[in-house]
Amino acid sequence: MNHQSAARAVTAVPFTDLSAMAGEVWPEIEQEYLACLLDGAYIGGPAVTAFERKWADYCGADQAVGLASGTDALELCLTALGVGAGDEVVVPANTFIATAAAVVRAGATPRFADVSDDTLLMTSRTLAEAITPRTRAVIIVHLYGQMPDMTDLVAAAKQAGIAVIEDAAQAHGAEWAGRRAGSFGAAACFSFYPAKNLGAFGDAGAVVTSRPELADQIRSLANHGRSRGHSHYEHDRIGTNSRLDALQAILLSGKLARLDAWTELRIALAAQYRKLLASYEVSGTGLKLTATAPLARHVNHLFVVRVSRRDSVRAELAKRGIQTGVHYPVPCHKQPPLRRFAEHPLPVAEQAAGEILSLPIFPHMTDCQVDYVCESLTEALRAAAIRSETANVQ
Ligand SMILES: Cc1ncc(COP(=O)(O)O)c(C=O)c1O
């Protein structure tokens, strides 16, 4: 059967398939998982230390601190860097709310930067526009799995004398000019939310850093303010409870051994999408692909296109059994709890929020499923265009 006829046999495509990934690693981790369950040491311990070592090495950083979520990673990182009341932190407007919410929870003020119309990521120009004398740090978000131009951004941050934090929640294994996400900033924050490229059986996260004092502070903050070498009930600072569980660490170590293979599958699927949609993009159908920079290793956590008449295109795809997402329908500075921090319109992020559409992509997706999504998308775009023409002449 060729691709096209095989695509005809496909009738539904999920947005992702977490059970396929879990099923692949489960036979390898089952014994260790059960041993841990029976042992009863569920928080921290050797499985967490082993994963932290492997994760730091993978990211090209000296240390990793396992935490309860990516959101905590961002907040604790800011606090450990001494960012708080009276300080400003630049964040892109196009990101998940956790990036900006962490700044507010740390007691600081988010300042929103617009994004590039091509990549939908922050640029050194949009960063520079958002910096004020009160700015202490920038959170650079490697959204969708792609790092922005880190050479330019790190240089701009250095020139402004502000700290760089990477929000790499969607970018496990992403690279800029051959350097891994996690090796550029003072620290980088990862999420292991189940749907991420490296996902746990629940919430989990980590900070990686090559600054030992920062790692120590974050570890202490995440463990009720306890410090290494002190007794269980001695607390040096007010902290919180944000530790990584041993069962999650066992799964994450198991999945980490497959991460590169899964990422290569994502990259191949994205290349197939690009090839099939490229000819359609130029023919005035209202479809625009998100650009990939030549120096970026884009790990394709999400495959995001821009379409006009998104709601009707989405509805048409849903009718064909294709699940899609929107990341994100409301830019951060327009979210009710963050509006008070918005100072200017951010035209690119605002325009894009009404057009972006995330198509299914996951390591176990088949070529035929990609064909089916592309065929369905082009038909949905055509149908939406005809409907709007008809509406215009009535
Ligand atoms: C860009 C970004 N930042 C931060 C987070 C927060 O991570 P978590 O869900 O693990 O708290 C996420 C994940 O949802 C994210 O996508």
199: Cβ below 6 Å to ligand 1? no
Taking the C-alpha atoms of residue 105 and residue 232, their distance in angstroms, rounded to an integer, is 27
Taking the C-alpha atoms of residue 305 and residue 358, their distance in angstroms, rounded to an integer, is 6
Q: Summarize the confidence of residues 21-41 as an average pLDDT.
A: 97
Contacts of 316 (CB under 8 A, 6+ apart): 376, 379, 380, 383, 384
The Å distance, Cα 99 to ligand 1 centre, comes to 7
Q: How many other C-beta atoms lie within 10 A of the C-beta of residue 340?
A: 10
pTM over 0.85: yes
Burial 93-102 (b: 16+ CB within 10 A, else e): bbbbbbbbbb
- Model confidence at 283, in pLDDT bands (50, 70, 90)? low
- Model confidence at 227, in pLDDT bands (50, 70, 90)? confident
Q: Summarize the confidence of residues 230-257 as an average pLDDT.
A: 96
Task: Retrieve residue 329's tokens.
Answer: 């329908």
For the beta sheet containing 187-191, the strands, ordered from the edge strand earlier in sequence to the opposite edge, are 63-67, 205-209, 187-191, 163-167, 135-141, 88-92, 109-113
- Model confidence at 1, in pLDDT bands (50, 70, 90)? very low
Work out which ligand 1 atom sits closest to the CA atom of 102: 4
73: Cβ below 6 Å to ligand 1? no
182: Cβ below 6 Å to ligand 1? no
Supply φ then ψ for residue 325, to 5 degrees: -135, 175
pLDDT of 221 higher than 60: yes
Which residue in this structure is represented by tokens 């795809």?
Answer: 317
pLDDT of 383 higher than 90: no
- By residue count, the chain amounts to 394
pLDDT of 232 higher than 80: yes
pLDDT of 96 higher than 90: yes
Task: Retrieve residue 328's tokens.
Answer: 């994100």
Pocket test for ligand 1, best of 71, 75, 166 (most atoms within 8 A of CB): 71
The residue contributing the CA closest to ligand 1 atom 7 is 70
The pLDDT assigned to 286 comes to 84
Q: Are 371 and 275 in contact (CB under 8 A)?
A: no
Closest by alpha carbon to 18, among 144, 186, 195, 191? 195
Closest by alpha carbon to 97, among 324, 331, 352, 305? 331
Q: How many other C-beta atoms lie within 10 A of the C-beta of residue 72?
A: 27
Taking the C-alpha atoms of residue 153 and residue 23, their distance in angstroms, rounded to an integer, is 40
Per-residue model confidence as pLDDT tens digits over 37-60: 999 999 999 999 999 999 999 999
More confident residue, 280 or 238: 238
The pLDDT assigned to 2 comes to 58
Q: Summarize the confidence of residues 308-328 as an average pLDDT.
A: 96
- Model confidence at 113, in pLDDT bands (50, 70, 90)? very high
Highest mean pLDDT among 7-11, 232-236, 251-255: 251-255
The pLDDT assigned to 394 comes to 58
205: Cβ below 6 Å to ligand 1? yes
The residue contributing the CA closest to ligand 1 atom 10 is 70
Per-residue model confidence as pLDDT tens digits over 336-357: 999 999 989 999 999 999 999 9
- Model confidence at 229, in pLDDT bands (50, 70, 90)? confident
Q: Are 362 and 16 in contact (CB under 8 A)?
A: yes
CA 122 to mean position of chain CA atoms: 14
Q: Summarize the confidence of residues 113-129 as an average pLDDT.
A: 98
Q: Are 318 and 9 in contact (CB under 8 A)?
A: no
99: Cβ below 6 Å to ligand 1? yes
Beta bridge partners of 208: 64, 188
Q: Is 334 helix (H, G, I), strand (E, B) or coil?
A: helix
Q: Are 202 and 70 in contact (CB under 8 A)?
A: no
CA–CA–CA angle 170, 183, 236 (5° rounding)? 90
Which residue in this structure is represented by tokens 């998100």?
Answer: 290
* DSSP state at residue 81: T
Closest by alpha carbon to 138, among 119, 158, 120? 158
Burial 193-204 (b: 16+ CB within 10 A, else e): beebbbbbbebb
Taking the C-alpha atoms of residue 289 and residue 270, their distance in angstroms, rounded to an integer, is 11
The pLDDT assigned to 257 comes to 98
